[in-house]
Amino acid sequence: MATHLELPAGGRMPILGLGTWQSLQGAARDAVEFAIDVGYRHLDCAHMYQNESEIGDALRHKMEQGVVSREELFVVSKLWSTFHERSLVKEACQKTLAALQLDYLDLYLMHCPMGFKAGEELFPADGNGMIIPSNTDFLDTWEAMEELVDVGMVKAIGVSNFNQKQINQLLGKPGLRHKPANNQIESHPYLPQEELIKFCQAKGISVTAYCPLGAPNWPGSKPDHISLLDDPQVKEIALKHNKTPAQVLIRLQIQRNVSVIPKSVTPQRIEENFKVFDFELSAEEMETLLGFKKRYRICALTQCKNHKDYPFLED
């Protein structure tokens, strides 16, 4: 089974990475250090997670210890929506590089196709709690991101939370110089995204799945939300392989040739989530896991649903 995905620009992205979203300040540094010790080399970061400077401390510490070299790491970060104006893109990337204490990123993603009003607030909202958009076009933002590749700040660029139509718009852009290398999307058995994943892969765009475990600790999740980790069918498959439900859900994505970034700050789980290369799900098990009728999008960004570039209208 592949342990890496080949990117169009020539990079190799480890198929399994550590997600760092919701890794609160204090926990992120220890989580990243432990993950590197366990063998993780792909780290998924973002300005919006507000923990990049701690992750930077962890990376520097591990490199100083000689545990890992910069070339062995694959570090991803993302351009947040308040920086979509062309004039803000380079500075946003520089801030991320400074926080992570790195000279370059392996992959820099547009965190989502929607531009928000520029300023200090991550989620600038109006009186009704709806996001205030910027009058930017993600095609212009992309051109500014292409320039980051030209100057060596990033090795590759990609997108996140883009739907099929938006990817087609980007691919059809006149004068496109760098194709998106990756689309990072929410995916798990309650949101398998079969069509979008097949579409991206057919276009030579790698896919990364976030929330692969169904985000059990999502801030707004209600007690009546069935946790994927407690789903009887997932548990049954896990039992059969003598694995945990989380390991089964991670393995599911790997077997779809999708990169996967489970988030944890618990050492035991970080280690457990990495032990997914010693078993294989059968075709029937894959079919079961991708055939659930329940549909649930965790990261629906409902406060943005009036935005001209809201990506989830097809749900």
As annotated, the active-site residues are: 49
> What are the phi and psi torsion angles at 51 (to 5°)?
-140, 15
Q: How far is CA 69 from CA 11, 53, 64, 94, 153, in A?
A: 16, 19, 9, 21, 18
Distance between CA 190 and CA 169 in Å, rounded?
27
Residue at 293: amino acid letter: K
Question: Cβ neighbours of residue 206 under 8 Å, at least 6 residues apart?
Answer: 5, 6, 7, 13, 158, 181, 182, 183, 200, 259
Judging by beta carbons within 10 Å of its beta carbon (0-12, 13-18, 19+), is residue 146 exposed, middle or buried?
middle
> What are the phi and psi torsion angles at 47 (to 5°)?
-55, -40
